[in-house]
Structure 1
Amino acid sequence: MTVDFQTSLFDEPATDRVSVGALAGAVQRHPLDRGAWVDVRPGWLRGADELFARLVRDVPWYAERRQMYDRVVDVPRLLCFYGEDDPLPDPALVEARETLSRHYSPELGEPFRTSGLCYYRDGRDSVAWHGDTIGRSRTEDTMVAIVSLGDTRRLSLRPRLGGASISFAMGHGDLLVMGGSCQRTWEHAVLKTSQGVGPRISIQYRPRGVR
């Protein structure tokens, strides 16, 4: 698979070396209601242009079809899921997971174990409103860490019981972590857009038993 992606003007020159930035003192927490919160760290993953190209090329992306009312529809994005015993497709993803685990384990109580990847090819690809509530996250507080590569897309959040939505623009190398009760009390989405956006990869890290 090949892709036409405009590399970042602010990133390092194309290189095999990818590095993660600091988290302590650099993450900005946004408290939500009902015990939910969102952490944001812009530009956390540096040197990400080559990583983006490697993931597009090397990840065994697949398309899904799902039942939607009385018909089966295409899921509007490509996917790949790595369980806790599966080798990740790039060492940079391992480094990111281990760094996130070291920083968040004192609060989370456990490391991140699994990695889900989504490939949004253009503005027509999206993910509908949902919470990651399969497994323990249906009844327990947890965290989902998202690293974004490629063109900027907005991650929107809205309270399940109604109220105003908020959104965060996730650009190349940005990190966003949803924590506390966020998966149970809020929903999130990447909505379709008619703007001329290019491809984006979302890397989601989750603890054991959370989907």
Structure 2
Amino acid sequence: MPKLNSNLIRQNLELPNAEVIIYPRLFQKPETQRFFHELLNQIEWKQKPIKIFGKSVLQPRLTAYYGERAYTYSGVTLHPLPWNLPLLQIKEKIEPLVNTQFNGVLLNLYRDGQDYMGWHSDDEKELAPGAVISSLSFGETRRFVFRRRDNHQIKVELNLGDGDFLIMGGETQKFWQHYVPKSAKSTQPRINLTFRVIL
């Protein structure tokens, strides 16, 4: 069974109109290395198209979706693959921290620093307003940036590393966007899991 960091540190990020919590290094080596390699090799990674301004373009990263209910974002409906053992083990350990039972997880594989995630909010109609979205990272450290939806000059930047756990709840998605920019320094892959509750 996976082990959590026995010296848990909980950090509340000071963002107005948001509830953002970070558990740095929630999972630690060698556990993170095991999960990284299991997910890298056992997940059915694909580079899928999404619709941007009516045009179909390939996402600049690999993705996969597992869980119990279909989920639609960026004009594409994802039909879930069944949970596998590593995902269930991770899910079992993080759910008590957020007092939530997740029924879906969207996974992203950033192959190197040229893979990225554009600005967005996780506010699709399948997600309950204010529902918690939990993000777990394995592998390379990457920048994760918030900006206000009503003022793009207001930004807050984090570095999410191996084993870091980020929780976004409350009105975070209503008032803030986030993205993972390209990085000239990052050459190693990163796997990110975003657990969510699909209505």
Is TM more than 0.5 here? yes
Q: Which amino acid aligns with 2:95?
A: S
**Cα separation, 1, equivalents of 2:129 and 2:53:** 29
Whether contact under 8 Å (1:121, 1:198) holds in the other structure is yes
Mind listing any 5+ residue stretches in structure 1 that lack a counterpart? 1-16
**Cα separation, 2, equivalents of 1:70 and 1:87:** 30
TM-superposed deviation, 1:29: 1.2
Partner of 1:12: none
Output aligned runs, 1:133-148, within 5 Å: 133-135=123-125, 137=127, 140-148=129-137
Identical-pair percentage:
28
Report the TM-score when normalising by structure 1.
Answer: 0.79
**Cα separation, 2, equivalents of 1:207 and 1:73:** 27
Aligned length: 185
Partner of 2:9: 26
Whether contact under 8 Å (1:18, 1:51) holds in the other structure is no
2:50 to 42, 62, 66: 66
Going from structure 1 to structure 2, the CA distance change for 1:22 and 1:141 (only over 3 Å counts) comes to farther
Going from structure 1 to structure 2, the CA distance change for 1:18 and 1:98 (only over 3 Å counts) comes to closer
CA RMSD after TM alignment: 2.1
Mind listing any 5+ residue stretches in structure 2 that lack a counterpart? 70-80
Q: Which amino acid aligns with 1:102?
A: P
Partner of 2:95: 101
Q: Does 2:140 align with 1:151?
A: yes
1:88 to 83, 89, 102: 83
Output aligned runs, 1:49-198, within 5 Å: 49-69=33-53, 71-84=55-68, 86-91=81-86, 93-105=87-99, 110-135=100-125, 137=127, 140-162=129-151, 163-198=153-188
Going from structure 1 to structure 2, the CA distance change for 1:54 and 1:95 (only over 3 Å counts) comes to closer
Q: Deviations over 1:10-47 (max 9, x none)?
A: xxxxxxx6322359x6311113112x121111111121
Going from structure 1 to structure 2, the CA distance change for 1:22 and 1:113 (only over 3 Å counts) comes to farther
Partner of 1:44: 26
TM-superposed deviation, 1:142: 1.6
Whether contact under 8 Å (2:2, 2:90) holds in the other structure is no
Q: Deviations over 1:74-107 (max 9, x none)?
A: 210001001236532333x3233223322222xx
Whether contact under 8 Å (1:55, 1:89) holds in the other structure is no
Whether contact under 8 Å (2:19, 2:170) holds in the other structure is yes
Q: Which runs of 4+ in 1 moved over 6 A?
A: none
